[in-house]
Amino acid sequence: MKILSIIGARPQFIKCAPLSRAIRKEHKEILVHTGQHYDINMSEIFLKELKIPEPDYNLGIGSGRHGEQTGKMLLEIEKILLKEKPDMVLVYGDTNSTLAGSLAAAKLQLKLIHVEAGLRSFDRSMPEEINRVLTDHVSNLLFCPTKTAVQNLKKEGICKRVYNVGDIMLDSIVYNQRQAEKKSNILKELGVSPKKYLLATIHRPANTDSRENLISIVNALFDVNETIVFPIHPRTEKYLRQYGLWETLTQKIIAIPPVGYLDMLKLEANALKILTDSGGVQKEAYMLGVPCITIRENTEWIETVEDGWNVLVGANYEQIVNSVKNFCGCTSKKNVFGTGDASEKICKILNSEFDL
Ligand code: UD1
Ligand code: UDP
């Protein structure tokens, strides 16, 4: 079988690594990188570290307005699909690269597989929510990471060929965590000790593109009086500079460029607590048993909140400061994301559903 996989943004490299490895044992995979993320530390570092095969196509689309970026991708992906004629097209998650790949495949009536299907924040102001809903509704085979995701799809009338296989990001953790602990020197390099620092990541437009919200978050980080390690996404750097927050931030906390996956795993596993608005980081905090303070009003990873390991605080100064002091997570975990074998399960189902 010829499977054409589409990736383009940081979380998709991490999701694609284990599945690409599994697919290539039995099938031919064509890998398309849209180029949505292009800095070395947002793209190449992951391909190298995770040993993702060199993409067959790199579209080099880069940044732009949503319509512009998605439209350019759609145009280029369609050309490749017409040339390669794959048996199936595979997309991951909820970025503009996901949506462009889904539309291109659906319009050509190709079989579309969505990995990380069924997630909902029920917040249509998030670009990702639009991408998820549209992708799910044109997909032929939907791989969900949780029971909630399956239920979300059911409520929207999507019941056929929906499988709960667990979360593919857990596959990546299982495969890489020991190596991360052994190989990464990031704690030494930054001069921090295990469980003596907080880890922060922020990149959602609701937090970065709003001056008021970003100032509130940054002030809270300053005032919690803890050592904070903050790998800064390029979108966030742009706005921190624009709002005149950059100089003070870099003086008061350990602000670093985005890090590779192994360094990130090491930083996450050894953090006392994690503050984030990232979807992937919320899950990883849960998987690694680190309390997570989520700087959003809602989450598609609701199980992490229900299980007592995640708390939603929005961009609210008082709530961030209070939760850093008081939120300690839970003592037990239900392992809501499966057992780290999502890629194997997906491959088995792909074989049995070839004739769908
Ligand atoms: C995108 C995804 C988001 C995902 C995130 C992962 C969409 C709509 N959003 O958001 O779901 O959580 O990736 O990180 O698809 N930039 C650089 N270098 C890069 C990449 C981006 O400088 O390599 C800067 C550019 O100024 C760009 C901005 O970051 O305009 C935003 O990049 P973009 O890919 O549009 O969205 P993200 O915020 O990264
Ligand atoms: N990540 C990383 N380096 C960083 C920040 C994040 O390797 O500096 C990883 C993180 O461990 C997770 C993924 O990137 O696996 C999450 O991606 P991101 O936060 O960009 O997007 P989201 O998950 O919110 O879509």
What single string gives the DSSP state of each residue in 173-202?
HHHHHHHHHHH--HHHHHT--TTSSEEEE-
Q: What is residue 330's predicted lDDT score, i.e. its pLDDT?
A: 87
For ligand 2, whether the C-beta of 293 sits within 6 Å is: no
For ligand 2, whether the C-beta of 145 sits within 6 Å is: no
Residue nearest ligand 2's atom 17 by CA:
11
- In the reported structure, the alpha carbon of residue 278 is separated from the centroid of ligand 2 by a whole-number distance in angstroms of 7
Residue nearest ligand 1's atom 17 by CA:
234
Contact 73, 19 (CB under 8 A): no
Give the Å distances, CA to CA, from 25 to 17, 265, 331, 343, 347: 13, 27, 39, 12, 10
Q: What is residue 353's predicted lDDT score, i.e. its pLDDT?
A: 84
Regions in the chain scoring below 70 on pLDDT = 355-356
Of 3.40.228.10, 3.30.460.80, 3.40.640.10, 3.40.50.2000, the CATH number of 175-326 is 3.40.50.2000
Q: What is residue 244's predicted lDDT score, i.e. its pLDDT?
A: 97
How many angstroms separate the CA atoms of 69 and 155, rounded?
A: 31
Q: What is residue 287's predicted lDDT score, i.e. its pLDDT?
A: 98
Q: What is residue 162's predicted lDDT score, i.e. its pLDDT?
A: 98
Phi, psi angles (nearest 5°) of residue 300: -85, -10
2-167+338-352 and 175-326 have identical folds: yes
Q: What is residue 356's predicted lDDT score, i.e. its pLDDT?
A: 60
Residue 250 DSSP SS3 = helix
| Torsion 136-137-142-148 (CA) sign | positive
What pTM was computed for the model? 0.98
Q: What is the CATH number of domain 2-167+338-352?
A: 3.40.50.2000
Q: Indicate which atom in ligand 1 lies nearest the CA of residue 203.
A: 38
Q: Indicate which atom in ligand 2 lies nearest the CA of residue 280.
A: 23
For ligand 2, whether the C-beta of 201 sits within 6 Å is: yes
Which positions are catalytic? 203
Q: Indicate which atom in ligand 1 lies nearest the CA of residue 208.
A: 38
Q: What is residue 331's predicted lDDT score, i.e. its pLDDT?
A: 87
- Going from N- to C-terminal start, the domains of the chain cover 2-167+338-352, 175-326
For ligand 2, whether the C-beta of 278 sits within 6 Å is: yes
- In the reported structure, the alpha carbon of residue 280 is separated from the centroid of ligand 2 by a whole-number distance in angstroms of 6
Residue nearest ligand 2's atom 23 by CA:
280
